[in-house]
Structure 1
Amino acid sequence: MKLPHLDWVNQDSPYLRQHKDGFRLLRFYADMERAFDRYHTDVYLIRIRWALLVAVFLMGMFALLDALTMPSEVRNPVVLLRLGLIVPMLLLTWWSTYHERLVKHLQLIGGFCALAAGLGVVAIVGTARAHDFPLPYEGLILVIVFFYFLAGLRFVAASVCGWLTFLAYLSMELLMGMPAETLIFNCFFLATANVIGSVGCYFLEYASRENFLAQGLLQDLAEKDGLTGLLNRRAFNEYTERSWRQASREQVPVAVMMIDVDFFKRYNDHFGHSAGDEALKKVAGVLAEHAKRPLDVVARYGGEEFIGLWFNVSEMAIREIAEDLRRGVEQLHMAHPQSDAAQVVTISIGIAYLTPRPHIPNEEAQRLADVALYLAKENGRNQAVLKRHGY
């Protein structure tokens, strides 16, 4: 996926920061890495399920071929390894992809299964060697290709499985006393398959991480305000609609704040638009610090106006939050000599406090908060006014 024009993205975006810092070691920052884990699982889950079922089918076909072509002393242990070890491990991993708790650990589970399958195939080749049956070692190359390109394993897990399988094969052939000339050629081709697989898997994961960042940057462009990094108005309205329905079902109160920077036009006229943008960023930073619970959110509503929603909060708590916001902006000490409210940048806050009902649309909360904001401005600004529904 092509990255959007980076100048359009908010410069504080974690996706942009990660893109600029790079990830050549295929590792993001901690929070971003956890998000990528979820993204990778969601993207590859269906493919992993089908790959596992295909592997089960092919292993069954090989077992049938073994049963038809091998003498009994070789056939019985080989078929037992295929159907008693490898196939159950594949099916167990396939089953785990349908359980949410296990899916979170799919790389670990899949890596363990892949390694067990690789070692199982090495054991099959070793069993045939022990009985002087000419079973080709090339089956291991098929297994290694599966590790790197079909199993949905990422670079580290796939490489560990591929190279441990290679070492297991080398150890087995040394124990069996394979002639050096033959062993060198076999190991060379097996190692080459690992090198090709490792390089290919690295670039596949790198591309997957690029796609993840591109999607994140596009989502930022669609949902975030480019200046402040807060949600934009459209995204806030969508979020509010969902939160409003949830609050109505659970019958818990919500508070909606309309926030306006006092005499901001005068600030822009006096200091210039560049300084005005920096002031808005700092105000947004204060607002964001007080909306960190999972269901609380703040957004830039337009111009110098902001809006916020706090979910399941008491009236006393929301009054305290509003005062913390007002005081926090004032304590930024951004000089504003043109303001009639104070000598520094301040905000006025209108609060709507209510418990949603099925017959009350969420727009009512915003209307009520707007009325409260008007009263705060009429009363001299640099203050918060709260209104309850019906009062």
Structure 2
Amino acid sequence: MSWLRARVRVSVDALEHLVGGLGTSVLALGVLLWVLVVAVASLAGIGLPLAQPALGGVRSVADRERGRLTRWGPPVLGPGPVPGGLRAAIRDPFVRRELAWLPLHAIFGFLAGTLGLTLPLSAVQDLTFPLWYRFLAPEDGGPTIVFWRIDGLGDALVVGLLGVGWLVLVVAGGPLLARLQALPGRRLLSPPPGTDLSLRVAELTATRAAALDAHAVELRRIERSLHDGTQNRLVAVNVLLGAARRAMQRDPARADEILAKAQDAAEQALGELRTVVRGILPPVLDDRGLTGALDGLAASCAVPCRLVVDVPGRCAASVEATAYFVVAEALTNVVKHSGARAVEVTVRRVGERLVIVVDDDGHGGADEGRGSGLTGIRRRVEAYDGRIELTSPPGGPTRMRVELPCGS
């Protein structure tokens, strides 16, 4: 009995695995069509600008499959973002292996997933056929592959036995089918033979350490804000309330004046507390979304700011919060250090990545080592396996480009 339960559990896991692979194969099929269209258009010289985003789409689907395979077995390590530049991307061994995997999974993975989903449905349909065959006309035949005339309960029971066969096939063949579906991904999406993974491990270790450092800095900032601001205000409120209580009997007019001061101090403490809370996770992101939150930043910027946002739907809350803080810190840098007369912020979703570009016409010369907040931006971005590129020659202009993964 325990053996049967174990087999049923394995079969259910295999079915879930096949359905998950069917989902990624549908995505792979869509990206495959996109890549083919871009390749044909590139032959005519009009598709080259779309080649890099197409490779990014391939990487996104491949990463989804890596995540799925990792959940169901040994980890499948993936690379970082697709290298910038079409030539560098094509030379990348990971990109080449992903391009080889894409049609295999789009076709074979789809067929395996469809078959894996059809078999248990056919088993259920045929097993229950004796219960509902009376509702069919005899000339209609039966379900699935049954094409002959069903005359009475005996024929219906034969169909039920066919359902038992389907069920045996599900239990015996489902796990094998799931392994075959996963085979191209495990062979082609793993690091190429001879790849030195130590660099990738070191990169991930560094970014996670930077994320922890950024988190510690943020905690210290919050602690200082509460200690130096809100706490002092609340202490002042307590002192003023004590003074008002003592003056209540001797000089009621004086007590009223002290209470007014205590009320002002309490309002200031509440204002500072709201500021601290907004610095943790701006409520405006929940209320108005990323577009509305960035509108508020652009409107309050001391330098005239043009904002362009093209982000259909919502990204993950952590990605939106990171994007908000990146733009907020970048605009603060522009106001404090650049001497710019205008700034433009562009936020777009390109495939599975959120791209943020901040351009200003200031005097340039931005340097991460001079305490301009760029180090904090880099730590936040790299903690999400994102990328940041800064171009700021002396004399300007300055451009900061940030990419954040935002796959759902």
**TM-score with structure 2 setting the length:** 0.25
- Identify the structure with bigger relative contact order (alpha carbons < 8 Å, sequence gap 6+): 1
**TM-score with structure 1 setting the length:** 0.26
**More helix by proportion, 1 or 2?**
2
